[in-house]
């Protein structure tokens, strides 16, 4: 019997360095980011956006890429962010 459920995937970003009492939550089509200081949460947001940009360039959705391809995308995004 074939499984007819639609395949889904999401990125989950968690950070634990907030010391200002703020609760930070950002939701996107395929990601959920929770916690962190202002700076860390902004970095999580930038990373999620850039990962989605790379997926768009490839014409793929998160649920369509292999773990290896996602790792390469994440490595490329990290290099981009460090270069900014």
Does any domain span residue 3?
no
Confidence check: pLDDT of 3 > 70? no
Q: How does residue 5 score in pLDDT terms, banded at 50, 70 and 90?
A: confident
Per residue in 9-63, pLDDT tens? 999 999 999 999 999 999 999 999 999 999 999 999 999 999 999 999 999 999 9
Counted domains in the chain: 1
Residue 6 lies in a domain: no
What is the residue range of 25's domain? 12-83
Cα–Cα distance between 36 and 25 in angstroms, integer?
Answer: 9
Does residue 1 have a pLDDT over 60? Answer: no
Instruction: Report yes or no on 48 lying in a domain.
Output: yes
pLDDT at site 18 = 96
Of the candidates 9, 24, 3, the one whose C-alpha atom is nearest the C-alpha of residue 70 is 9
5 in a structural domain: no
Instruction: Give the number of other Cβ atoms within 10 Å of residue 31's Cβ.
Output: 20
| pTM given for the model | 0.88
In a domain, 30, yes or no: yes
The pLDDT, as a whole number, for residue 2 is: 61
Query: Could you tell me if residue 79 is inside a domain?
Result: yes
Contact 47, 38 (CB under 8 A): no
């Amino acid at each position: 019997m074939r499984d007819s459920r639609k395949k889904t995937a999401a990125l989950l970003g968690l950070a634990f360095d907030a010391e200002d009492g703020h609760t930070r939550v950002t939701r996107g089509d395929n990601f959920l980011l929770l916690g962190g200081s202002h700076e860390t949460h902004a970095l999580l947001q930038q990373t999620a956006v850039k990962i989605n940009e790379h997926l768009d360039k490839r014409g793929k959705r998160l649920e369509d890429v292999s773990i290896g391809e996602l790792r390469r995308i994440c490595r490329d995004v990290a290099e981009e962010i460090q270069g900014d």
